[in-house]
C-alpha cells in the first residue's frame, strides 16, 4: 500500500464523524427513573419502561434535554424549538424494546460548527499547504503562522438512548467469535445518549482526531459526560471515502464502527484511506460497508454491508408528544454555559499575547489550562510565553512519557514552574540547563533555585568576568585570531568553546558570543 502522502497527492480523503456520548453525569435514564451507574451488578437498574414491557409509558428526562441544549449552544448550533422523538426499529438482544427511541429529521440541535487549529506535525497531513502564506484561504481552511484553521460543519446533535450490553462468554477476550454463550445486562439500556453528526468536512486523520479531542474537552467543560473512551461513554464512527483530486462528487464511503480511542480513530482512518486507494488503483470498487478497525492486526475488516434507512422503518414515537422548548428554557440554559476552551484560548491570546496555536495547546487539557492560569496568577506577564513553552513542550513530553503521572500530583508546582522559567529568562542558567533543572525538580521534589545552587549551575552573566576570560582566550590564540580575521568565521565556535571550558561551562553563551564578536571585528 502507498503512504498517506502518496495517496493524498492523487486523491482527496473525505471524512465525517458520528460521535455518541452518554450523559453519564445525570442521575437517571432517558425515559424512566432507573438510576445511571456504571459497573453496577448486572440487571439491577431496570424497569418496565427500559425493558420495553407492554403498556409502559416513557417520560423524557428534562435534565438530559438541558444537557443536549448545552452541547448545541457550545458547538454553535441552532436550537430547534419544535422537535420530535422517533422509533428506530430493529431487533437485537441488547435492545429489549426492539426499537431505539431517537429523533427524526429535526433534532434538538442543527447546523453548528467547530473550528480546528491545526499546527506542527499534524498540519503536514493536509495536502496543498506547501507554499501557502498565513492568511491564504482555500476550501474550508485558512492558513495560519503555525499551520491552518479548518472550519468543520456540524449537521446535527440529536437525543437518543443507549442499548444494553452483551457479554460474550467462553471465547477469546470476550469476543463474540468463539463464544459458547452470551449474557445481556440491561443496566445501560435507556442511558441518555447524544449523537453528534459532522458534515463531511474533515480531510485528514489528524483533523478527525483533533475534532474528537476538541469535542471531548467541550463536553468535559460543560460537565455533561465523563467522556471515557475506555468505558465507552464516548465513542465514534468514522466515515471515509476517496475522490480524485479536482472531483466534487462524493465517493462511496465505508464506516469504521465504535472506535474507542483517539489513536484508533487516527490509525483506522489512515489505514482505510490507504486501503481504499489501493482498491481504486487496481480498478476495484468500494462497497458501502461497515468495517471494524483491529488495532493489534493493524487492519480493518468487514462487519456488514450497509443497511438503508428503510430497514429501520423510522416513524414518530406514538407514546411521546412533540417536544417544545420555550425561549425562556433556552436562555436559562445559555446562562449556564461555562467558559469554553475556545473562549479561554482567546482570552489567553488577548491577556498574555500568546499565539493562537500556543493558546489552543494550553486549553486542550483542563489540567494544563488551569496550571498555566495558576502560574500566571502572580507572575510577570513577560514570562507568559516561556511558561506556555514549558507546559507545551517539557510538561507535555513528560506527561506523554509517564502514562500514570498527573500534573496536579507532580512536584512541579506553578510557583516552581515560574521560578524555573524566571531563572532562564534572567540568564542565571542557560535554556539547556533549564531542561536539566526541570527533570531534577520532578525527580527530587525540590525548588529550581535550590537545585541550581546545589549543583553549582549558576551561569556567569557578569560582563566583567566574561570579558576577562574572552581577552585571555584571544591572547592565548593569536594564530587563530589571524585566521578568523582572514575569513575563517567558523572559528567563532572554537573561541566560544575555549571560553566555556575556562568557565567550567557556566558562562552565559550569548554574552560570550557577543563579546567575542565585538573584540574580533
Q: Does 467 bind ligand ADP (CB under 6 A)?
A: no
Residue 47 contacts which entry, Zn ion, ligand ADP, none (Cβ below 5-8 A, type-dependent): Zn ion
Q: Applying CB under 6 A, which part among 106-114, 139-147, 194-202, 271-279 lies near ligand ADP?
A: 194-202
Among 417, 414, 410, which Cα is nearest to 437's? 417
Q: Does 200 bind ligand ADP (CB under 6 A)?
A: yes
Strands 109-119 and 82-83: unpaired
Nearer to ligand ADP, 115 or 289 (CB): 289
Q: Does 61 bind ligand ADP (CB under 6 A)?
A: no
* Min separation Cβ 46 and Zn ion, Å: 6
* Min separation Cβ 249 and ligand ADP, Å: 9
* Min separation Cβ 215 and ligand ADP, Å: 13
Instruction: Please provide the DSSP assignment of 235-286 as one string.
Output: EEEEEEEEEETT--S----EEEEEE-SHHHHHHHHHHHHHHHHHHHHTT---
Near ligand ADP by CB under 6 A: residue from 10, 18, 329, 447 = 18
Interhelix angle 341-352/366-376, rounded to 10 degrees, is 30
Alpha-carbon span 65 to 200, nearest angstrom? 26
Q: Does 199 bind ligand ADP (CB under 6 A)?
A: yes
Q: Does 498 bind ligand ADP (CB under 6 A)?
A: no
Element (H, E) at 88: strand 85-89
Q: Does 14 bind ligand ADP (CB under 6 A)?
A: yes
Q: Does 516 bind ligand ADP (CB under 6 A)?
A: no
In sequence order, which residues have a C-beta less than 8 Å from that of residue 470 and are 6 or more positions away? 495, 499, 512, 515, 516, 519
Q: Does 239 bind ligand ADP (CB under 6 A)?
A: yes
Q: Does 466 bind ligand ADP (CB under 6 A)?
A: no
Alpha-carbon span 339 to 331, nearest angstrom? 16
* Min separation Cβ 393 and Zn ion, Å: 49
* Min separation Cβ 139 and ligand ADP, Å: 15
247 exposed, middle or buried (CB, 10 Å; 0-12, 13-18, 19+)?
Answer: exposed
Residue 140 contacts which entry, ligand ADP, Zn ion, none (Cβ below 5-8 A, type-dependent): none
In sequence order, which residues have a C-beta less than 8 Å from that of residue 4 and are 6 or more positions away? 125, 204, 205, 270, 273, 274
Nearer to ligand ADP, 18 or 231 (CB): 18
Q: Does 198 bind ligand ADP (CB under 6 A)?
A: yes
Residue 368 contacts which entry, Zn ion, ligand ADP, none (Cβ below 5-8 A, type-dependent): none
* Min separation Cβ 392 and ligand ADP, Å: 31
Interhelix angle 509-520/492-502, rounded to 10 degrees, is 130
Nearer to ligand ADP, 18 or 447 (CB): 18
Alpha-carbon span 215 to 517, nearest angstrom? 52
Q: What binding mask, one character per residue, do residues 246-285 give for ligand ADP by CB under 6 A, x or -?
A: ----xx-x--------------------------------
In sequence order, which residues have a C-beta less than 8 Å from that of residue 238 and are 6 or more positions away? 15, 17, 208, 255, 256, 259, 265, 268, 269, 272
* Min separation Cβ 49 and Zn ion, Å: 5
Q: Does 436 bind ligand ADP (CB under 6 A)?
A: no
* Min separation Cβ 370 and ligand ADP, Å: 33
Nearer to ligand ADP, 13 or 345 (CB): 13
* Min separation Cβ 17 and ligand ADP, Å: 6
Amino acid at each position: 500500500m502507498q503512504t498517506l502522502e502518496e495517496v493524498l497527492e492523487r486523491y482527496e480523503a473525505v471524512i465525517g464523524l458520528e460521535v455518541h456520548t452518554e450523559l453519564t453525569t445525570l442521575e437517571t435514564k432517558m425515559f424512566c427513573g432507573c438510576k445511571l451507574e456504571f459497573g453496577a451488578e448486572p440487571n439491577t437498574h431496570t424497569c418496565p419502561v427500559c425493558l420495553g414491557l407492554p403498556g409502559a409509558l416513557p417520560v423524557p428526562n428534562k435534565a438530559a434535554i438541558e444537557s443536549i441544549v448545552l452541547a448545541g449552544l457550545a458547538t454553535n448550533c441552532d436550537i430547534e424549538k419544535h422537535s420530535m422523538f422517533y422509533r428506530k426499529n430493529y431487533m437485537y438482544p441488547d435492545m429489549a424494546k426492539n426499537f431505539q427511541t431517537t429523533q427524526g429529521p429535526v433534532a434538538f440541535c442543527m447546523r453548528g460548527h467547530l473550528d480546528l487549529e491545526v499546527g506542527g506535525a499534524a498540519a503536514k497531513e493536509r495536502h496543498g499547504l506547501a507554499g501557502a502564506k498565513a492568511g491564504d484561504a482555500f476550501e474550508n481552511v485558512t492558513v495560519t503562522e503555525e499551520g491552518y484553521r479548518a472550519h468543520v460543519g456540524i449537521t446535527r446533535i440529536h437525543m437518543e438512548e443507549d442499548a444494553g450490553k452483551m457479554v460474550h462468554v467462553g471465547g477469546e477476550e470476550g469476543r463474540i467469535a468463539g463464544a459458547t454463550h452470551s449474557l445481556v445486562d440491561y443496566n445501560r439500556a435507556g442511558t441518555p445518549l447524544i449523537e453528534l453528526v459532522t458534515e463531511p468536512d474533515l480531510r485528514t486523520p489528524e483533523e478527525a482526531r483533533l475534532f474528537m479531542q476538541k469535542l471531548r474537552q467541550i463536553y468535559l467543560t460543560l460537565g455533561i459526560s465523563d467522556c471515557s473512551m475506555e468505558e465507552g461513554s464516548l465513542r465514534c464512527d468514522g466515515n471515509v471515502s476517496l475522490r480524485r483530486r479536482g472531483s466534487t462528487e462524493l465517493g462511496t464511503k465505508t464506516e469504521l464502527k465504535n472506535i474507542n480511542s483517539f489513536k484508533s480513530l487516527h490509525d483506522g482512518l489512515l489505514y482505510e484511506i490507504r486501503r481504499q486507494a489501493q482498491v481504486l488503483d487496481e480498478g476495484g470498487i468500494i462497497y458501502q460497508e461497515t468495517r471494524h478497525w483491529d488495532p493489534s492486526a493493524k487492519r480493518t475488516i468487514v462487519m456488514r454491508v450497509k443497511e438503508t434507512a428503510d430497514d429501520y422503518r423510522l416513524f414518530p414515537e406514538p407514546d411521546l408528544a412533540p417536544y417544545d422548548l420555550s425561549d425562556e428554557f433556552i436562555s436559562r440554559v445559555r446562562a449556564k454555559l461555562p467558559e469554553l476552551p475556545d473562549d479561554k484560548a482567546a482570552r489567553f491570546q488577548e491577556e498574555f499575547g500568546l499565539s493562537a496555536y500556543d493558546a489552543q495547546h494550553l486549553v486542550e487539557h483542563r489540567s494544563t489550562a488551569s496550571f498555566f492560569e495558576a502560574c500566571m496568577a502572580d507572575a510577570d506577564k513577560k514570562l507568559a510565553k516561556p511558561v506556555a513553552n514549558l507546559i507545551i513542550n517539557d510538561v507535555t513530553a513528560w506527561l506523554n512519557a509517564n502514562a500514570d503521572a498527573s500534573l496536579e500530583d507532580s512536584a512541579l508546582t506553578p510557583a516552581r514552574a515560574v521560578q524555573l522559567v524566571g531563572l532562564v529568562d534572567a540568564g542565571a542558567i542557560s535554556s539547556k540547563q533549564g531542561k536539566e533543572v526541570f527533570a531534577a525538580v520532578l525527580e527530587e521534589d525540590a525548588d529550581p533555585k535550590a537545585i541550581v545552587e546545589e549543583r553549582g549551575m549558576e551561569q556567569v552573566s557578569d560582563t566583567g568576568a566574561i570579558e576577562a576570560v574572552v581577552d585571555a582566550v584571544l591572547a592565548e590564540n593569536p594564530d587563530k585570531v589571524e585566521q578568523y580575521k582572514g575569513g575563517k568565521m567558523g572559528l567563532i565556535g572554537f573561541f566560544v568553546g575555549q571560553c566555556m571550558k575556562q568557565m567550567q561551562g557556566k558562562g552565559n553563551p550569548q554574552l560570550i558570543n557577543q563579546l567575542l564578536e565585538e573584540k574580533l571585528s
